[in-house]
Amino acid sequence: MQYISTNGIHQTDLVNAINQGIAPDGRLYVPEVLPRFSPSKLQGESLTEIAVEILKPFFAGSFLEDSLITLCEDAFNFSIPLEELERGKLSVLELFHGPTAAFKDVGARFLAAVMERSFEKTGFNDKRPLTILVATSGDTGGAVASAFHGRSGIRVAILFPRGQVSPRQKHQLTCWDGNITAYEVNGTFDQCQALVKSAFSDECILKEHRLSAANSINLGRLLPQTVYHAAASMWHWRKHGSPASFIVPTGNLGNALACIWARAMGLPIGEIVLSTNSNQVIPDFLSTGQWQPRHSIQTLASAMDVGDPSNMERLFNLIPDFSELRGSIEAYPIDDAAIRKQIADDFVNRGKIWCPHTATGFRAYDQLPLKRRKAATWIVAATAHPAKFENIVENAIGEIVEIPESLQNLLTLPTRYQQLEPKITSLRNEL
């Protein structure tokens, strides 16, 4: 399997695509061709077994091919339950049982395992330190820090926007030592992301550092995320004999693209509906046909505060025709008032407590016409534990949210971080 940049200029193998993070031309890597699967021929039952089957074609020909089972066991070592809420009609895929209580633990752990194993096999001939740059709107940075903390030969720089993450998210971003450094950027997430992209074309930085990225711009994040969508679709298909439709909360479009890729690979997935917050560049595009990135605005669903989603580049590469693209997905923007109401209503009516991001997904489901809801079985991706957003959630439901043990352990650690202006010269000096 070979990987090419989205403009078709650069081609490389899996390990180089992951270790580079971004192609030399600043574009994103995609598989030269997506593999195709027949649901009836997939044999795996557990998450790890399905992961090995789904990811095997992507590793074909790579020197990590014989390490795939070990890599999957390393990354998928916590449960991702699929819980039925309405028999045969509505389920929730709980993606928040990892070490930092967010779905991004899956991709971050897999990426870290791949990078560490690749260095073990090739050695450290390049004496420049490998620096992982990660821009985060809340959850990615904590997951990446947890996944890479203490791994040899790798250091991580986390960039997060000042005043735009929850207190507990900020604690998760800044409670690390050793090879992890957190930077509070005086700007938005989009400015953090722009800094990361600029670093990959900065000659002064590249002379001193080997760079890679840990956002969903990195294939090593995206590929494992296709696994849990594939697994959920297979579990449902085997139980009910029909495809499930998915609702995926999205900001930078990584989680949603992973679901779209899974469907394109032949997994039994019906409709795909995206839920966004008031940063509605994707719904507006699907409505008008005009792609118009803009400055992000701050919302309750802070991890989705993205005004220029990077993975649209990959979506355009997969489905370049707008009419086909608009027919393949749908997107609902959900504002803060609706998020608060959904959290409160579902606590009463469904007996469940959602984080603000997951609430956008259930709000999108409730907004679907009744006929469409009844015509299919729906799976909503629950992206983070509500305890990470205690101020918002507890105010909405009037009760204290229990903190999972993994998150509680992180909250006891001391924090440290540095201030950073959103300028490439500032980042260059810090690195």
So what's the pLDDT on residue 212?
85
User: Residue 208 above 90 pLDDT?
Assistant: no
Domain 74-104+220-408 has CATH 3.40.1350.10: no
Which ranges in 241-355 belong to alpha helices (H)? Answer: 254-264, 281-288, 312-318, 322-328, 336-349
Do 240 and 88 contact (CB within 8 A), yes or no?
yes
Extract the tokens encoding 331.
């997107």
CA 184 to chain centre: 21
Number of residues in the chain: 431
Q: Which CA distances in Å does 29 have to 8, 24, 93, 318?
A: 9, 10, 28, 12
b/e per residue 179-202 (b: at least 16 CB within 10 A): bbbbbbbebbbbbbbbbbbbbbeb
So what's the pLDDT on residue 329?
98
Q: What is the mean pLDDT of residues 60-71?
A: 95
Extract the tokens encoding 100.
């930092």
User: Residue 215 above 80 pLDDT?
Assistant: no
So what's the pLDDT on residue 126?
64
| pLDDT tens-place string over residues 383-398 | 999 999 999 999 999 9
Ranges 244-248, 260-264, 308-312: which has the least confidence: 308-312
Can you list the positions of beta strands (E) in 346-431?
A: 377-382, 418-420
User: Domain extents for the chain?
Assistant: 74-104+220-408
pLDDT-derived band at 8, boundaries 50, 70, 90: very high
Can you list the positions of beta strands (E) in 326-416?
A: 330-333, 377-382
Q: What is the mean pLDDT of the chain?
A: 93
Name which residue leads in pLDDT, 104 or 139. Answer: 104
Neighbours of 164 (CB within 10 A): 23
| pLDDT tens-place string over residues 296-323 | 899 999 889 999 999 999 999 999 999 9
The percent of residues above 70 in pLDDT, for the chain, comes to 98
